[in-house]
Chains A and B, each alone.
Chain A
Amino acid sequence: MNPNLALHAPLPTRRIEVTTKSIIMGAVTSRDWAPLHHDVVWAKTEGNLPDIIMNNYTQAGLINAYVTDWSGPAARVGRLRFSMRSPICPGDALELSGVIEAIEPEPELIWVSLAIELTVGERVATRSTVRVALPASEQSPSLWHRQAGAWKP
């Protein structure tokens, strides 16, 4: 059920061709109306940016999806941290990669810490760390049934 867990093991990479449509779609569906995510003239002239840029909600969504595609949907992401170092723009070939940084077994679950990078060629666009809980075994109760006090992300 769980992926093979080994310290420093890499996650499979995911490649995404970023387009104007995907950036605008991510911004609009996350209800982010700021012009730097849909108006190229504004982004260049007012934002001093090379083009429209991917918003942070879309980046958070991509990172979460990258993690649960690897872990499977029974996993439960507890904490996401990311810093955006350079913009993600239309035409970028974005690659998500990750590595297991820590494994912390607890009764009925295993906390896994992942270091994830979003890169465009040699350029690091975003660095992220994610703390995700995986069921300890197939017999473990669903992580989503934990009472609020027992869920400590």
Chain B
Amino acid sequence: MTDLPSIVKSWIGTAVVVVERTVTVEKESWLGFCAAIQDGNPLYWDESFAQSHTERTIAPFAMLPSWGSTHPWYPGKQSDGIRAMELHFMLKEALSYPNGIVTSVEMAYHEPVRAGDSVRVEQILRSVSDERATRLGPGRDWTIEVVYRRQDHVLLGLETMSFLGYRRN
């Protein structure tokens, strides 16, 4: 990591992006996702079934990162807003890679998210590799850890994501 810009070096080990609240979790939003993946789990759909397990219906865990992403437009919008993995996009820009893909994800699920909740997101940069040749073009690998908490600081999930940023050959 000797050839990294100083700004990127200063980010390693720190919570570069902290999102206090973006959207309020809503059932119809997560049911759209369930429809997309054809997931009929009654914990997401059926209030009477959910009552004996989770008190109320819950959102699919796979959507946990989604609740930290702002709307793509809102009144008075001045910038791109906070994207679902804002630190990843900041790294792409700082390292001049137009493209980036997720290569691996590890997620530990804790308390589920329910309608009315909001999610606090903390994105911590763990590592950035030297540049290497990849199938897609020259690029670097980086790893980001994410801590998800509810508005009352209850732990919702812990995520480790690995990315490849690259530019076309």
Does B48 count as interface, using CB distance less than 8 angstroms? no
Give 10 CB contacts A-B under 8 Å: A29-B29, A34-B83, A47-B99, A68-B41, A69-B41, A79-B107, A79-B108, A80-B105, A82-B105, A148-B111
Does A48 count as interface, using CB distance less than 8 angstroms? yes
Q: Which residues of A contact B35 (CB under 8 A)?
A: 25, 29
Q: Which residues of A contact B161 (CB under 8 A)?
A: 56
Interface of B is mostly: mixed
Q: Which residues of B contact A151 (CB under 8 A)?
A: 110
Q: How far is the CA of A143 from the CA of B108 in the complex (A)?
A: 15
Q: Which residues of A contact B53 (CB under 8 A)?
A: 73-74, 142-145
- Please report which residues of chain B, range 101-141, place their CB below 8 angstroms from some CB of chain A when the two chains form the complex: 101-112, 136-137
Listed in ascending order, the chain B residues whose CB lies under 8 Å from chain A are 23, 29, 32-39, 41-43, 49, 52-54, 60-63, 65-67, 69, 72, 83-84, 98-99, 101-112, 136-137, 154-155, 161-162, 166, 168-169
Cβ-defined contact, A142 with B52, below 8 A: yes
Q: Are A148 and B62 CB-contacts (below 8 A) given A26-B33, A62-B37?
A: no
| Shortest Cβ distance from A63 into B: residue | B62
Q: Which residues of B contact A64 (CB under 8 A)?
A: 39, 60-62
- Please report which residues of chain A, range 76-109, place their CB below 8 angstroms from some CB of chain B when the two chains form the complex: 76-84
| Shortest Cβ distance from A64 into B: residue | B62
Task: Tally the A-B contacts, defined by beta carbons under 8 Å.
Answer: 132
Listed in ascending order, the chain A residues whose CB lies under 8 Å from chain B are 16, 22, 25-26, 29-34, 36, 46-48, 53, 55-58, 60-65, 68-69, 73-74, 76-84, 142-145, 148, 151, 153
B3 to chain A, nearest CB (A): 23
Cβ-defined contact, B98 with A46, below 8 A: yes
Cβ-defined contact, B63 with A32, below 8 A: no
Name the contact of B61 in the complex, choosing from A29, A33, A55, A77 (C-beta under 8 A).
A77
Q: How far is the CA of A53 from the CA of B65 in the complex (A)?
A: 18
Name the contact of B137 in the complex, choosing from A32, A48, A55, A142 (C-beta under 8 A).
A48
Cβ-defined contact, A33 with B83, below 8 A: yes
Q: How far is the CA of A76 from the CA of B112 in the complex (A)?
A: 10
| Shortest Cβ distance from B164 into A: residue | A84
Cβ-defined contact, A22 with B36, below 8 A: yes
| Shortest Cβ distance from B111 into A: residue | A148
Q: How far is the CA of A144 from the CA of B162 in the complex (A)?
A: 29
Q: Which residues of A contact B52 (CB under 8 A)?
A: 142
Q: How far is the CA of A145 from the CA of B55 in the complex (A)?
A: 9
Cβ-defined contact, B72 with A33, below 8 A: yes
Q: How far is the CA of A79 from the CA of B61 in the complex (A)?
A: 10
Q: Which residues of B contact A76 (CB under 8 A)?
A: 109
Q: Which residues of B contact A78 (CB under 8 A)?
A: 108-109
